[in-house]
Structure 1
Amino acid sequence: MNSWRIPWRAAVWLPLRAHPGASLLAVLGVALGVALGLAIALINVQAVDNVSSGMRRLAGQADLLLTRPGGHLNEDWYPRLALASGVAVAAPELRVLARTSSGAALSVWGIDAFRSLALGQPLLPLHLQDPFTLFNPLHLVLDQTAVRELKVQPGQSILLQVAGVPRHFTVIGSIADPVPGEAVAITDIASAQWLWGEEGKISQIALRLQPDENVAQFQSSWQKRLPPGAVLRTPKDAGSVAARASLAYRVNLLVLSLVALFTGAFLVYTTLAFTAIRQRRSLAVLRVLGLREREILLASQLQGLVLGLPGALLGVPLGIFVAQLALARMGGNLGAGYFSATGAALQAHPGLWAIFALAGLGAALFGAFWPAWSSRRLPVVRILGNGSEEELPGAHTGIGLFLLLLATIAALLPAWGSIPYAAYSAIAILLIATLFLLPGLLALLVRLLPLPRAALPRLVMEQLRGNPGRASRSLAAIVVAFSLVVAMAVMVGSFRDSVTDWLRDILRADIYVQAGTGNQELLPTGAGSQLCQLPGVERCSRLRHTELALLPQRPPVALLARGMEPQHPGQTLQILQEAPSDPSGPAPIWISEILAGLSHWQVGQIIRLPLGAHGERVRIAGVYRDYAYQEGAISVPIEEYRAWTGDQRINGVALWLAPGVRIDEVLRELRQQYPESGQWQIATPGEILQRSLQIFDQSFAATYALEAVAIVIGLLGVSNGFGAQTLLRRQEFALLRVLGLRRREVLRLILGEGLLLSLFGVLLGTGLGLLISLILIERVNPLSFHWQMGFHLPWGQLTIMAGALLLASTLTMLWSARKAMGQHTELLHDE
């Protein structure tokens, strides 16, 4: 026992206790990394669970769900399926939209109460005084979200806009949220068909089969008989499709969150690298006294354990708290709009807690391994002599160059399952390669600078030329943290500028009028023609927005019927690829680059759209840029769409004004003709651009938080690295004092060296960050989301972050230098 206590105290505990501030910062770095990664993972899992469980709960005991994305089914399909062999229960449903007096959208579900109860769907109140009261067309049941948002209780009435007509409804009861966070009202299906003018139409049919019926065989048999665009899926498959829509976003966000954890590992590396240097002589003495090399390696891992375990244990509850706070404030979408789970209670996931705690512990052990491994290679005689703390700067350059080549190969590999795992690995390998290349790069930078004539600046340069390895250790966490901040800032800034340029290019009209945000919200019949004839309007373009189920196991694709010239699509769209015109071929369509990436369709290819009675053969005439529809979009001339479907309805109109006509005059005339236009969405291009950028910033709220955490960890690295280096060189500074340098001159020396090192860290971190941003922009985003973007540098943001890093390093160096200036004669006596 005693023989073990001596090495433990000498090799593990005393070195960490001697510098509690550095050790505490390392623990904090690991805790922040664990907390952020765990929080995002918990939110992602919670959001997907909400979607999947919501699908299962809504389906009740149903085995299959029949839907037609973007459109309605003819209600004749209900009796055909209800009477089909093998079907036990069939429940129809119609989903429509209403507007509240404040203009907010309310989803209204028309159901067959008896069929819904037979399926066990949770869409009716448990206690109704008169169950038949639901059949009154002006009675509604609200879910808890609608009750809360509308501030109404059972027995009270509410005013809703129904197909442009204001109607008073009585609330007869409330139910739990069928979809977490979404306001829903329930009514009788016949009432919904009549009030909304959707006679003969239904949105969905839920089927429960006979116990002896094979679900897969029934599904396969009936899918072939369904009309174009109709899909027959199990509730589980429907939930999987919804979750798959956000898979790339969730994986990207989770990987970016691990950036903080990776940076925490480098913070541990910085701490233990200097600890290893301080320990080298004491460990060499222990080696002479019989301590073996593997025991020294074990001691370093125990140091990593001492730093990593508290960090991991602190990070787990902190991550749970952050996840709960984010769910309460932003819901499960993290700003991206994929999910709505505001206020949902966070579920316990002990498995995830353990995974991220172990990841934090592993990061600390990784950070502790390399300093000890490099120390063990030095002979005891050299360690006990002077200069043992510096290694040759090129000692590990070969390993770094090999890793650099490996990162290049990984970055060029294709995605696997729509997720670019190889590109993510390339970023991690590139960061590790930096660890090996940093001494050589620092030595090269110092050699490129001329030696000053003045004594103090010359001493600074000579110090860096003679000790690049020691200086690189203090820069490791700074370079890595700043590079990741630069990479994320460049990627987000490039995307934001690309979206801005795209919006400015396509928003060419003067006024845009939309009935609402969903494809079910339509302008009144005849409104398109009347809006186009408003005084001052020179020309107009109508828009019909619907959806099509085109790709297996993928969410629906947006279909946009526009007023566009087939011979000049560039007047409406931002064309990227175009096929030669073929007047004798099928009708032309244009697909977004996202859909081209998802479907692998080529320009000139002929496909079939599920429109009309039997589908329509069309030719892909081109590919255009579109950032609005993340599952892809198809644009067609509205005249072709109307010929295929007979659908004359529109969702919106774009208006071009005559020269000299003021926008406010046209808007005043519009509101006079259409009093209900107060609930429409009417905007100018400038207002749309401003709102779109607000949504963009909200979507990247989590990414901005990641940048902030990386900056914090980088500043911790500055404090830890420079502080440790300054305290480590107290004998050197004491000797300079004895040789005649005054206190303020030594402080100027330390300050100059710190500023120069910080500048090198900023330069190297910026270069590394630009390389990582190239991987993110040119590989990760195209492989994950199937869109391209330009490369833009946010100079202002980068300058502010670099200035903060330089300021923090300067203050840290000054603080550490003042602490190291005292008792210089005692230090020399001890030496």
Structure 2
Amino acid sequence: MITRIPWQAAVWRPLRQRPGASVLAIIGIALGVALGLAIALINIQAVSDFSAGLRRLSGQADLTLTAPGQGFSEQWYVRLSMARDVAVATPEIRLQAQVLHPARKGMLPILGIDAFQAARMGQPLLPFHLHSPLALLTPDHIALSPAALTNLGLRVGDTLTLDADGQPRTLRIIGELPGVGSSEAFGVMDIAAVQWLWGRIGTLNQVDLRLDPGIPVAHFLARWQGHLPVGAVLQSPAQQGHVAADASRAYRVNLLVLSLVALFTGAFLVYSTLAMGVVRQRQQLALLRVLGLRRREVVLAVLLQGATLGLPGALLGLPLGVLAAWLALAHMGGDLGAGYFRATALHLQWHPGLLLIFFVAGLGAALTGALLPAWETSRAIPALALRAGSEEQAHQQHQHPWVGLLLLGLALAGSLAPAIHGIPYLAYGAVACLLFALLFLLAPLLRALTRLFPLPHAPVWRLALAQLRGAPGRAAQSLAAVVVAFSLVVAMAVMVGSFRDSVANWLTDILRADLYVQAGMNRDSLLPHGAAHQLCALPDVRACSPLRRVTLNLLPGHPPVTLLARGMNISDPERELQMLHAIKVGPQQPPPVWISEILAGISGWRTGQVIHLPLGGQERTVIIAGIYRDYAYQEGSVSIPIQQYRTWSGDDAVNGVALWLRPGTAIPAAIRKLRQTLPDGGQLLIATPKEIRSKSLQIFNQSFIATYALEAVAMVIGLLGVSSGFGAQTLMRRSEFAMLRHLGLRRRDLLTLLFAEGSVLSLLGIFIGGALGMAISIILIEVVNPQSFHWHMGFHPSWRLLLTLSAILWLASTATMVLAGRRAVRHTSAVLRDD
């Protein structure tokens, strides 16, 4: 069949006649492939790097017993090491330590190990080139991974000062760890030294187990599952990796879908390019039909045009995507700043299968964009198509608004459907249905909207509006890619802006103290013993609220949840929390706790429900007294009065303190007095609510860099659509302009006509695209985010940003129409003579 198609006349020549539009369509597909491939590569790299790190550090372990927070008694290590079917057991303590150096601030993960047992387990945690085999057993010695040495700018033999349980401790670096990933930065010490320096005597938080040969892991798990420490989890290293991957899955899927927005917009750009192209070659294709070309061969010819645009676009997008992924991993990490993975993979792995998938996706997007023009062209009646001026009549014949209405109904149904395995697939489908509905409803919308405007008295403006009223189909084809791109830009801008404003409002509501004191950058850092009492007893302090932060295993197969023990009033929890739902708890009921809406969404727990918290080695029965808003803890949080926490756990440590000052107290003077009160007060992090809010929003902006980049690319593709669609539409009307010149219009009048058409058409596109974008943003805010992340946000469009984007699009549209018109109105007499 392909041999029957005149390749030059039906496929290649139409694209060569519009090189600018063809190149822009290729660029659109390339950008879409590049963004989608980059995000997919980053996602795979982040998960595989994290899982590989777990496998490396666990050595030959079959199972790992872990407990966050306070951990468990080291007697469990003794029990497990002597248990039946256990060949080797390795005790560990894992914690985060703050680096105390003006030029090297940050957090360093510390692993406390039993060197002899780690060697038996095959863990790569023993440094080489030691001057003594027992060097690691010395309390002030530490070995660092290559990545830690590089990040800290240190060498073997240097010293390193860390914050250990509120006290500065200087350690000597005695060696470098072999067999560790290039992105894994951590330090290794003797487990007894870590227990002593960080106040963890008698406790562990991890034990690795290697079973005897031939012992099924499942059988061992079944035997021990009901006999583990309270709050501990026994699972394989692979299961640990799956838990972390599942926790970030919704974020990674959302980011991938947003990245595919560019590819989706590129498909619409191909549609606009080919739709305008087939109108231009309408008479040529009709003549070929008369000469014997069959209908399916016409369809194939237009699809080949789409493939001709998609093939180089997809090929160009592959290296661009690999480059973008490499740059993003090097500068932002595997989670692009979202905080799901600590490690940063600097070396991108090769995934040929993924490259093939996105090559096919790029080519498929181009063919999808060509499908509707191909179908419409094949249904054209040759006798009618050969007649000049029949283009708009053909547009009207192929308009099917009922299809658009059906897609709107499907979009409504998808937006009301629940998530599938925690991912809002049907909500994404609803967004796609809205965008595809645009193809079938844009021309009727343009026809209806233009009839709302009264015809102006000025002849040129009257002619411009009459042209748009009379040819809505042609205007719709030139506007489709622009409206789609602008709607997606509006949707993402409104969603991100609403989220940012919601976070800002939440911070303003909960940061009610005058000063906040934290032990360090790490959430696990502790104030020195008695420091909280000293700070609260200062004369300038009117009231204080200490905070203790620990993590608990509450949900099977889910990462640990943060427990926040606060100095809160049971009768007035809104003093500390932004409550969404609350109930009164009677004196005969269990002690109350409050959970975040994220935890409520993940667990399905509701107010009034009785749950159990693993504290102090026991399951503590509590009742959920309320649900509060909390954007800080992505895995969920539980708040409890600190007095109740201390009674159950026996833990009087404090991570931070909120201070309310007496009236008239100067903030700078109060901060100086706070630092002078404690021996190491210079290391404390002291901030006002304004500073915390500013820093938090700065972190928010960094975590949404990828989304901002996607917005920018979608806007660029929209501008490409302006140049392609509007420019093509103008050049196709050269005969019309020649006739108008013949009837007496001056060249200046024609440019004014094009300016008027461009102004009205771009304003209509901005209006329709803005309305569509608002509808999509509501789906993102009210459906996608709650189903993906279990939080809600307000609706806060940034009108200034939207007006700026609209102005840019309007200027680009009108400028394109006028600039293309300057070419189109030249040599009008020759054009008229040819006709």
Taking structure 1 as the reference length, the TM-score comes to: 0.98
Secondary structure at the aligned position of 1:655 is classed as strand
What amino acid maps onto 2:232 in structure 1? A
2:271 matched residue in structure 1 = 269
Match of 1:693 among 679, 694, 697: 697
Determine what percentage of the aligned residue pairs are the same residue: 59
Distance in 2, matches of 1:126 and 1:302, equals: 62
After TM superposition, the structure 1 stretch with the greater mean CA deviation from structure 2, 719-728 or 164-173, is 164-173
What amino acid maps onto 1:742 in structure 2? R
CA 55–104 in structure 1, closer or farther in 2 if over 3 Å, else same: same
2:249 matched residue in structure 1 = 247
Q: Would the aligned equivalents of 1:26 and 1:267 in 2 still touch at CA under 8 Å?
A: yes
Q: Would the aligned equivalents of 1:393 and 1:468 in 2 still touch at CA under 8 Å?
A: no
What amino acid maps onto 1:136 in structure 2? T
What amino acid maps onto 1:29 in structure 2? G
Following TM superposition, by how much is the alpha carbon of 1:79 offset from its aligned partner in structure 2, in angstroms?
1.1
What amino acid maps onto 1:509 in structure 2? A
1:211 matched residue in structure 2 = 213
Distance in 2, matches of 1:504 and 1:773, equals: 24
Q: Determine if the alignment matches structure 1 residue 715 to structure 2 residue 719.
A: yes
CA 630–77 in structure 1, closer or farther in 2 if over 3 Å, else same: same
Q: Determine if the alignment matches structure 1 residue 66 to structure 2 residue 102.
A: no
1:108 matched residue in structure 2 = 110
Distance in 2, matches of 1:693 and 1:329, equals: 20
What amino acid maps onto 2:692 in structure 1? I
1:23 matched residue in structure 2 = 22
Q: Determine if the alignment matches structure 1 residue 776 to structure 2 residue 775.
A: no
Secondary structure at the aligned position of 1:166 is classed as strand
Match of 2:789 among 781, 785, 792: 785
Following TM superposition, by how much is the alpha carbon of 1:261 offset from its aligned partner in structure 2, in angstroms?
0.2
Following TM superposition, by how much is the alpha carbon of 1:146 offset from its aligned partner in structure 2, in angstroms?
1.7
Written as runs of structure 1 = structure 2, the 5 A alignment for 1:647-686 is 647-686=651-690
2:325 matched residue in structure 1 = 323
Written as runs of structure 1 = structure 2, the 5 A alignment for 1:70-149 is 70-96=69-95, 97-102=97-102, 103-149=105-151
Q: Would the aligned equivalents of 1:737 and 1:743 in 2 still touch at CA under 8 Å?
A: yes
Distance in 1, matches of 2:3 and 2:160, equals: 77
Q: Would the aligned equivalents of 2:534 and 2:677 in 1 still touch at CA under 8 Å?
A: no
Distance in 1, matches of 2:739 and 2:50, equals: 68
Distance in 1, matches of 2:178 and 2:490, equals: 45
Secondary structure at the aligned position of 1:615 is classed as strand
Unaligned runs of 5+ in 2: none
Match of 2:334 among 319, 332, 335: 332
Secondary structure at the aligned position of 2:617 is classed as coil
Secondary structure at the aligned position of 1:198 is classed as coil
Distance in 2, matches of 1:635 and 1:131, equals: 47
Q: Would the aligned equivalents of 1:101 and 1:161 in 2 still touch at CA under 8 Å?
A: no
Match of 1:307 among 306, 309, 329: 309
What amino acid maps onto 1:28 in structure 2? I
Match of 2:448 among 434, 444, 449: 444
What amino acid maps onto 1:214 in structure 2? P
What amino acid maps onto 1:775 in structure 2? I
Following TM superposition, by how much is the alpha carbon of 1:158 offset from its aligned partner in structure 2, in angstroms?
2.7
Q: Would the aligned equivalents of 2:166 and 2:525 in 1 still touch at CA under 8 Å?
A: no
Distance in 1, matches of 2:474 and 2:379, equals: 16
Distance in 2, matches of 1:179 and 1:748, equals: 65
CA 341–98 in structure 1, closer or farther in 2 if over 3 Å, else same: closer
Written as runs of structure 1 = structure 2, the 5 A alignment for 1:633-652 is 633-652=637-656
1:466 matched residue in structure 2 = 470
Match of 1:600 among 604, 618, 628: 604
Match of 2:161 among 136, 159, 164: 159
Q: Would the aligned equivalents of 1:54 and 1:180 in 2 still touch at CA under 8 Å?
A: no
Distance in 2, matches of 1:569 and 1:328, equals: 43
Taking structure 2 as the reference length, the TM-score comes to: 0.98
CA 182–453 in structure 1, closer or farther in 2 if over 3 Å, else same: same
CA 538–260 in structure 1, closer or farther in 2 if over 3 Å, else same: same
Secondary structure at the aligned position of 1:702 is classed as helix
1:230 matched residue in structure 2 = 232
1:691-716 CA-partner distances (Å, limit 9, x unpaired): 00001001111000000000000000
Q: Would the aligned equivalents of 2:45 and 2:345 in 1 still touch at CA under 8 Å?
A: no
Q: Would the aligned equivalents of 1:333 and 1:341 in 2 still touch at CA under 8 Å?
A: no
Q: Would the aligned equivalents of 1:70 and 1:519 in 2 still touch at CA under 8 Å?
A: no
2:618 matched residue in structure 1 = 614
Written as runs of structure 1 = structure 2, the 5 A alignment for 1:283-432 is 283-342=285-344, 344-390=346-392, 391-392=395-396, 395-432=399-436
Secondary structure at the aligned position of 1:545 is classed as strand
Distance in 1, matches of 2:303 and 2:204, equals: 65
Match of 1:571 among 569, 575, 578: 575
Secondary structure at the aligned position of 1:594 is classed as helix
1:186 matched residue in structure 2 = 188
Distance in 1, matches of 2:297 and 2:94, equals: 69
Q: Would the aligned equivalents of 1:588 and 1:618 in 2 still touch at CA under 8 Å?
A: yes
Secondary structure at the aligned position of 1:547 is classed as strand
1:51 matched residue in structure 2 = 50
Written as runs of structure 1 = structure 2, the 5 A alignment for 1:802-813 is 802-813=806-817
What amino acid maps onto 2:676 in structure 1? Q
1:252-290 CA-partner distances (Å, limit 9, x unpaired): 000011000000000000100011001110010011000
Distance in 2, matches of 1:82 and 1:828, equals: 95
Secondary structure at the aligned position of 2:769 is classed as helix
Q: Would the aligned equivalents of 2:167 and 2:528 in 1 still touch at CA under 8 Å?
A: no
2:201 matched residue in structure 1 = 199
Distance in 1, matches of 2:633 and 2:127, equals: 37
What amino acid maps onto 1:185 in structure 2? G
Secondary structure at the aligned position of 2:680 is classed as helix
CA 394–763 in structure 1, closer or farther in 2 if over 3 Å, else same: farther
Q: Would the aligned equivalents of 1:534 and 1:666 in 2 still touch at CA under 8 Å?
A: no
After TM superposition, the structure 1 stretch with the greater mean CA deviation from structure 2, 63-72 or 772-781, is 63-72
CA 342–668 in structure 1, closer or farther in 2 if over 3 Å, else same: same
2:281 matched residue in structure 1 = 279
Q: Determine if the alignment matches structure 1 residue 491 to structure 2 residue 491.
A: no
CA 393–597 in structure 1, closer or farther in 2 if over 3 Å, else same: farther
CA 113–271 in structure 1, closer or farther in 2 if over 3 Å, else same: same
1:257 matched residue in structure 2 = 259
Following TM superposition, by how much is the alpha carbon of 1:176 offset from its aligned partner in structure 2, in angstroms?
4.9
1:41 matched residue in structure 2 = 40
Secondary structure at the aligned position of 1:331 is classed as coil
Q: Would the aligned equivalents of 1:726 and 1:820 in 2 still touch at CA under 8 Å?
A: yes
Following TM superposition, by how much is the alpha carbon of 1:517 offset from its aligned partner in structure 2, in angstroms?
4.0
After TM superposition, the structure 1 stretch with the greater mean CA deviation from structure 2, 141-150 or 44-53, is 141-150
What amino acid maps onto 1:150 in structure 2? L
Secondary structure at the aligned position of 1:583 is classed as coil
Distance in 2, matches of 1:503 and 1:180, equals: 37
Q: Would the aligned equivalents of 1:180 and 1:340 in 2 still touch at CA under 8 Å?
A: no
1:756 matched residue in structure 2 = 760
Distance in 2, matches of 1:769 and 1:814, equals: 27
Distance in 1, matches of 2:399 and 2:166, equals: 76
After TM superposition, the structure 1 stretch with the greater mean CA deviation from structure 2, 657-666 or 462-471, is 657-666
1:185-216 CA-partner distances (Å, limit 9, x unpaired): 11111122222222111121100000122211
Match of 2:798 among 794, 797, 806: 794
Q: Would the aligned equivalents of 1:270 and 1:721 in 2 still touch at CA under 8 Å?
A: yes
CA 177–324 in structure 1, closer or farther in 2 if over 3 Å, else same: farther
1:403-439 CA-partner distances (Å, limit 9, x unpaired): 1111111111110000000000000111000110000
Q: Would the aligned equivalents of 1:474 and 1:721 in 2 still touch at CA under 8 Å?
A: yes
What amino acid maps onto 1:165 in structure 2? Q
Q: Would the aligned equivalents of 1:50 and 1:180 in 2 still touch at CA under 8 Å?
A: no
What amino acid maps onto 1:572 in structure 2? E
Q: Would the aligned equivalents of 1:143 and 1:174 in 2 still touch at CA under 8 Å?
A: yes
Distance in 2, matches of 1:466 and 1:52, equals: 61
Q: Would the aligned equivalents of 2:98 and 2:522 in 1 still touch at CA under 8 Å?
A: no
Following TM superposition, by how much is the alpha carbon of 1:154 offset from its aligned partner in structure 2, in angstroms?
1.1
Following TM superposition, by how much is the alpha carbon of 1:507 offset from its aligned partner in structure 2, in angstroms?
0.3
Q: Would the aligned equivalents of 1:98 and 1:163 in 2 still touch at CA under 8 Å?
A: no
